[in-house]
């Protein structure tokens, strides 16, 4: 069954009625909870920043009245070479931060999966962040000292001590040494943050599907996003049927679905084409009217549901001497008319022999299809 639904304007409410309602209470609670941190943020961040901008136009003195000098302070800053030298120095650390983030994200991606000894490795990488900064300074003072740890390791690799620079004394290279120390200390923290973000994604949002030929180059299954908890539909259907019940399902669609994991386990199926919060309540009521028998459905499908992955599979073909990815069904042809453009060999192995999904009763879910109580 298919039901078309529409939206009507909500009833007008006064502000006091809205405030006493659920939505108003939610907004009021959120506003009150946000008020204190926003006040603190303004008091200790934005207000001091604005005051600093104001002070920048004065000749500030520890003793005596301050004197307004206008833009002279800015002219002085942009004409001093030592200020530009400090800005140039920060470029080393900007480049180091990029290396740090890339390395952290790479390791986080690897360690977010099951890796032998992964937890120990995470601990080793995160531990430097916990070390006191003064201790870090002493560690790397000896690490970079002439003839000590770093130089010894390089000599093992075949370098001569006389040809090695003074890592902290030589101004042409000491910034690289300090940036390397910073990366070593802080990339573990970023790695843990990235791992937390990756692990927070619900594993049920992924399902392994057979990859197309261009993906088979890796030799691995490719995880793609799919319907959440789709594996439980069969289980729920069996429980309901075992207790003498019927299963009615609703598809909220804006693109074609492959229904092989839903339709076979449902006794009734409706399609909804709106996700608007305003229209959602009316859409659900319309479907309940249909499912309860109070209204004979008149809606028709505006999309063609896909029969299986084979009819939308992508293969590599050589065209004009260039390898290109080609879809089994052309994208510039509407779904209800794709069959004549698909290889018959592909359709011969598809249930119903069509691009459109075919159910057990022989109904093809093409654009314009819809059942009613007399069907």
Instruction: Let me know if residue 358 belongs to a domain.
Output: no
335-345: burial string, b at 16+ Cβ within 10 Å, e else: bbebbeebeee
Q: 149 lies in a domain?
A: yes
| pLDDT at res. 371 | 87
State whether 194 and 224 are in the same domain: no
**Do 344 and 214 sit in the same domain of this protein?**
yes
Q: Tell me if 21 is assigned to some domain.
A: no
Q: Which residues touch 8 (CB under 8 Å, ≥6 apart)?
A: 282
Torsion angles phi and psi, residue 354, rounded to 5: -145, 160
* CA 372/CA 295 separation, integer angstroms: 10
Q: Are residues 129 and 223 in the same domain?
A: no
Residue 63, domain extent: 31-79
pLDDT tens for residues 60-98? 877 778 888 889 888 888 888 888 888 888 889 899 999
Question: Do residues 148 and 270 share a domain?
Answer: no
**Is the CA virtual torsion 255, 259, 261, 263 positive or negative?**
positive
CA atoms of 246 and 30, how far apart (whole Å): 41
Say if residue 185 is in the same domain as residue 309.
no
Query: Is residue 239 domain-shared with residue 310, that is, in the same domain?
Result: yes
Instruction: Confirm whether 371 is domain-assigned.
Output: no
Q: Let me know whether 127 and 150 are in one domain.
A: yes
Give the residues of the chain that fall short of pLDDT 50. Answer: 1-10, 207-214, 222-225
The pLDDT of residue 225 is 42
> DSSP letters along 275-336, please?
--HHHHHHHHHHHHHHHTTSS------SSPPB--GGGG-EEEEEETTEEEEEESS-TTS-GG
Q: With contact defined as beta carbons under 8 Å apart, do 327 and 346 qualify?
A: no
pLDDT in tens, 267-320: 888 888 877 777 777 888 888 888 888 888 888 888 899 999 889 888 888 888
Separation of alpha carbons 366 and 307, rounded Å? 10
Is residue 317 in some structural domain?
A: yes
Residue 197: CATH number of its domain? 1.10.3720.10
């Amino acid at each position: 069954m298919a039901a078309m639904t529409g939206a009507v304007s909500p009833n007008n409410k006064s502000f006091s009625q809205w405030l006493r309602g659920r939505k108003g209470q939610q907004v009021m609670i959120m506003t009150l909870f946000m008020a204190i941190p926003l006040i603190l943020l303004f008091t200790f961040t934005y207000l001091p920043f604005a005051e600093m901008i104001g002070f920048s136009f004065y000749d500030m003195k520890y003793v005596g009245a301050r004197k307004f000098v206008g833009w002279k302070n800015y002219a002085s800053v942009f004409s001093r070479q030592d200020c530009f030298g400090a800005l140039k120095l920060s470029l080393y650390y900007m480049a180091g931060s990029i290396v740090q983030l890339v390395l952290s994200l790479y390791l986080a991606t690897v360690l977010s999966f099951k890796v032998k000894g992964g937890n120990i490795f995470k601990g080793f990488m995160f531990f430097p962040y916990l070390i006191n900064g003064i201790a870090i300074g002493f560690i790397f003072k000896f690490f970079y000292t002439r003839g000590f740890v770093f130089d010894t390791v390089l000599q093992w690799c075949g370098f001569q001590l006389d040809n090695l620079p003074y890592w902290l004394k030589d101004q042409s290279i000491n910034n690289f040494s300090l940036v390397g120390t910073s990366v070593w200390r802080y990339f573990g923290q970023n790695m843990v943050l990235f791992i937390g973000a990756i692990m927070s994604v619900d594993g049920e949002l992924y399902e392994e599907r057979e990859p197309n030929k261009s993906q088979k180059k890796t030799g691995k299954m490719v995880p793609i996003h799919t319907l959440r908890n789709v594996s439980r539909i069969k289980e729920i259907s069996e429980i309901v049927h075992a207790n003498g019940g019927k299963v009615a399902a609703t598809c909220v669609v804006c693109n074609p679905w492959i229904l092989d994991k839903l339709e076979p386990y449902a006794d009734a199926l409706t399609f909804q084409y709106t996700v608007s919060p305003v229209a959602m309540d009316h859409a659900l009521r319309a479907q309940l009217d249909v499912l309860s028998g109070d209204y004979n459905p008149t809606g028709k499908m505006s999309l063609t549901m896909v029969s299986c992955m084979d009819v939308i599979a992508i293969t590599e073909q050589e065209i004009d001497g260039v390898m290109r990815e080609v879809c089994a069904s052309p994208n510039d042809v509407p779904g209800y008319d794709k069959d004549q453009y698909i290889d018959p060999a592909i359709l011969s192995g598809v249930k119903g022999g069509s691009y459109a999904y075919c159910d057990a009763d022989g109904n093809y879910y093409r654009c314009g299809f819809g059942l009613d109580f007399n069907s």
